[in-house]
Amino acid sequence: MRAAFADAVRLSVAFLLMVVLLGGAGEARAAPDRCNLGAYITSLSQVDTAAGTFRADFWMWSVCPSSELEPLKTLEFVNAVSVQPSLDSTLKRDGGWWATRKFTGIFRQDFSLHNYPFDEQPLVIDIEEGVLDTRDFVYAADNVNSGMNPAVDLAGWRLKDFQLTGGVTTHPTTFGDPSLRGGVSRYATLKMQVGVERNHMANFVKATFPLYISALLALISLTVTDGRMSLLGATTFAVVLSFVSVEKLVGPHDGVYLLDQLHFATLALIMAVTGQGVISLRAIAHGGDAAVQRRRDLHGAAILLGGYVVLNLILIGRAIIDAKT
């Protein structure tokens, strides 16, 4: 009797465990749907580092297991100023449903211009799923077929590389979704990035030509007596105007960029030349030998020129190294 009762208890426990396990299995979520997404850039233009924007034209495609999944229509361009889609198509293929769409847009970019014009920049397009979270849907990056048209020519820049990276972003909100817990939500992301390097020599000459002409004229002022101070005043004014124009090249900025440092170095040179000139003129006015003072001025000009050149080489060399690392 006791044996029969024990057997009945064991059977009941086993039955309850089976019910619990089956119930848990029923509640477990299925694996999220996955679509392969790729991109091919056909054009890059209008890189405006001062405004922090660039323009891109590109194709995107998706290969999904179901026609109900339309990631090209539910994605969001996170850093877009404006985007215009066109040329939609969806076709049934052996590997699933293949959809393509073309996009033309203006995108925001936080350009780092500390080392301008020796800077290298990433042009990034951030993409995020806008409807289904990662419980139901994820991306897979199609790196094999993605890339950039070799004919793309970006004026003023050299194209370096292309990368397409899939991932997940976490938001500290559920966006009001009552099925989510924990106050967070996660969505599939895709990052398209093109590395570009500025054609620095032409930009460097344009940005620094007024500086170096002003520095040269300041040093030449030590070889003359009449009009020396007027010439130094004109060079100072030219450097100040050039300094103001830096804002147009790199935009408003905090900190001290390379061009700022070169301007400060030139102003320091002009101040040193002015000091030397004042001392020389005062000595002559008080009966000093003009020939002796002239030799001292030339000697001082040589020392200042050497120091100015060395300082510029150090600042520019450091900027080039920083831009490469």
| pLDDT tens digits, 113-124 | 888 888 889 999
pLDDT at 39: 96
The DSSP result for 255-324, as a single string, is S--HHHHHHHHHHHHHHHHHHHHHHHHHHHHTT--HHHHHHHHHHHHHHHHHHHHHHHHHHHHHHHHHHH
pLDDT at 9: 44
User: What is the spatial distance between Cα 226 and Cα 281, in angstroms, rounded to a whole number?
Assistant: 10
pLDDT at 99: 95
The domains of the chain are located at 33-198, 201-324
User: 43: burial class by Cβ within 10 Å (0-12, 13-18, 19+)?
Assistant: middle
Peptide bond connecting 210 to the previous residue in cis, omega within 30 degrees of 0: no
Mean pLDDT within 265-274: 90
Q: Which residues contact 69 (CB under 8 A, 6 or more apart)?
A: 33, 35, 62, 97, 137
Span of 27-31, 127-131, 179-183, 271-275 with lowest mean pLDDT = 27-31
Is the pLDDT at 193 greater than 60, yes or no? yes
The chain-wide mean pLDDT, for the chain, equals 85
Q: Which residues contact 215 (CB under 8 A, 6 or more apart)?
A: 235, 266, 269, 270, 308
Span of 64-68, 193-197, 201-205, 258-262 with lowest mean pLDDT = 201-205
The pair of three-digit structure tokens given for residue 323, joined into one six-digit string = 């831009």
Domain at 201-324: CATH architecture: Up-down Bundle (1.20)
Span of 9-23, 71-85, 143-157 with lowest mean pLDDT = 9-23
DSSP 118: S
The pair of three-digit structure tokens given for residue 266, joined into one six-digit string = 């030139």
> What percentage of the chain reaches a pLDDT higher than 70?
90
SS (H, E, C) 216-246: HHHHHHHHCCCCHHHHHHHHHHHHHHHHHHH
- pTM above 0.85? no
Class of CATH domain 33-198:
mainly beta
Q: 148 and 192 in contact (C-beta within 8 Å)?
A: no
Half-sphere exposure of 65 (CA within 13 A, CB side): 8
DSSP 32: P
